[in-house]
Structure 1
Amino acid sequence: IVVQSAVKQEKQVSSKSTPTDLVTETDHQVEELIISTLREKYPTHRFIGEESSAAGVKCELTDDPTWIIDPIDGTCNFVHSFPMVAVSIGFAVRKELELGVIYHCFDGTLYTARKGHGAFCNGVRLQVSKEKDVSKALILTEIGAKRDPATLDIFLGNMKKLLSAPTHGVRIIGSSTLALCHIASGAAEAYYQYGLHCWDIAAAAVIIREAGGHVMDTTGPLDLMSRRVVAAGTREIADCVVKQLQPINYGRDDTDPDDLA
């Protein structure tokens, strides 16, 4: 409701680590609302939030029950009223992801999943694409906040490799969480990104896995803090995507507090 009501208002916009890494007053309001509501019900739980981390709170995943929150994923979209904006809430216990909720703010679509209980979109069960041939795959990605020439060369080079693999195409929608939900729904076969944060992937990882898909680091099993991810409906597609990628170093969420891009 906070996000929807703010869409038609004049937005107070500022930048964080780079001119392309935007934040609005609504980001802060939504995060505060989510954390205060959950803390009232679960006073002993820990929280990792995008805006609190950007403000200097250490981003650390422990064995304690932890809520991992992205108050507005797709802030640049939100600023321009481009309708790919989501709120993402993940929950981990003993560093294992257990719950995921992602809400598409513009159209009211709600994605939910609980470990061992399936993934759903507005109550309808989700199923990933079972395509194994990358030449028949639609692949999603995001640019990331780094726009220096060297990083852009690697990013564009990775896209060129995937397009030449060949694949059906590569798409960028401006919201990593909603892109990942498209993997869970079977609308696309794979997603990759260097530079996303733990709050971008936590909820979506549960949803994709419960829809039958795979979520991994580009170097092995998923590491929430590594800022690297490949997700796909099948392991064959995931492995093929990984082989095409040249890495981009964004550091880690838990050790690079000054590089939260």
Structure 2
Amino acid sequence: MTDAIDEYFEVALELVKTAGNLIIEFRNGCKEFESKSSDIDLVTEIDKKVEETLIKGLSAIYPEHKFIGEESVADGAKCELTEEPTWIIDPVDGTLNFIHGYPSSCISLGLVINKESVAGIIYNPIVNQLFTAKKGKGAFLNDRQIHVSQVKEVRNALISFEAGTSRDEERQRTVLENFKMLVTKAQGVRAVGSAALNMAMVALGGSDAYFEFGIHAWDVAAGDIIVREAGGVCIDPAGGPFDILSRRVLCASSEELAQELAKMLHQYYPERD
């Protein structure tokens, strides 16, 4: 299986690099977009073209593989995860950043086999950041191996989180409660504007933990394996096992930090993918 994953990964990596050129063309912003679930949940033609490039390229070589793509699901495709090799795609994670020309958006591509993330690619072509990982092989930024920090306590942690794209009142209330708690308990807080890049920052050791409620499988599939291969952990924000379809994630540099943070968080349970 390892050899097969290596092969799948190399094919996918070339496609991701090619698709990245579509994003680079709009490094100064993309002014044509549409709203999806709310007026801050947006999509551009580039989102659609990147996803199409990846699905067409991979399915041409691996016709038996399955796909879960953000824009495909938005257009009515089912979000169904089986034991089969499944590519989970966020073509432009951080679309709002992309539209504004804020240089923190990326392609996120995760490979899940037997419902476990086994390879991941997070690529921000605008600033040439390529995060990669394969099961058992470590995590890398531009071919340099990376590791999580050694932080084990919230009081010493730089923690990433997001306001998100939902206008749901209960969710917004939870976000504000957690923000209020973290600015008094953590060393600092950050919001990159992309779930995948927040996870990549934990893998890099740049931040120590990240959590979010309301994300989707395509936001976290690649980040899950990259964080774990960098020595970190991914769990449910309430402290249990991570479930890629739960729309809930907490990743951290250590199990100790993850569990301490989980005990402090105000919880929110969105509808599953």
Alignment-derived partner of residue 243 in structure 1: 263
What amino acid is aligned across from residue 242 of structure 2 in structure 1?
Answer: L
Given candidates 115, 133, 145, the residue that maps to 2:135 is 115
Stretch moving more, 243-252 or 58-67: 243-252
Secondary structure at 1:179 match in 2: helix
Q: Which runs of 5+ in 1 are unaligned?
A: 254-261
Instruction: State whether structure 2 residue 197 is matched by structure 1 residue 178.
Output: yes
Question: By percentage of residues, which structure has more helix?
Answer: 2
Kept in 2, the 8 Å contact 1:194–1:229? The answer is yes
1:91-134: per-residue Cα shift (whole Å, max 9, x none)? 01111111000101211111000000100000100100111121
5 Å-filtered alignment, 1:1-261, equals 1-8=21-28, 10-164=30-184, 166-219=185-238, 220-253=240-273
Kept in 2, the 8 Å contact 1:11–1:25? The answer is no
Large movers: runs of 4+ above 4 Å: none
Secondary structure at 2:112 match in 1: strand
Distance in 1 of aligned mates of 2:105 and 2:171: 25
Q: Structure 1 residue 145: deviation in Å?
A: 1.8
Q: Which has the higher contact order (CA 8 A, sep 6+)?
A: 1
State the aligned residue count.
252
What amino acid is aligned across from residue 173 of structure 2 in structure 1?
Answer: D
Secondary structure at 1:89 match in 2: strand
1:213-256: per-residue Cα shift (whole Å, max 9, x none)? 00011241110000001000001110111111112232111xxx
How high is the TM-score relative to the length of structure 2?
A: 0.90
Distance in 1 of aligned mates of 2:189 and 2:181: 11
Kept in 1, the 8 Å contact 2:174–2:268? The answer is yes
Kept in 2, the 8 Å contact 1:162–1:244? The answer is no
Distance in 1 of aligned mates of 2:86 and 2:113: 6
Distance in 1 of aligned mates of 2:259 and 2:122: 26
Q: Which runs of 5+ in 2 are unaligned?
A: 1-20
How high is the TM-score relative to the length of structure 1?
A: 0.94
Secondary structure at 2:221 match in 1: helix
Alignment-derived partner of residue 6 in structure 2: none
Indicate how the Cα distance of structure 1 residues 152 and 9 shifts in structure 2: closer, same or farther if over 3 A, else same. Answer: closer
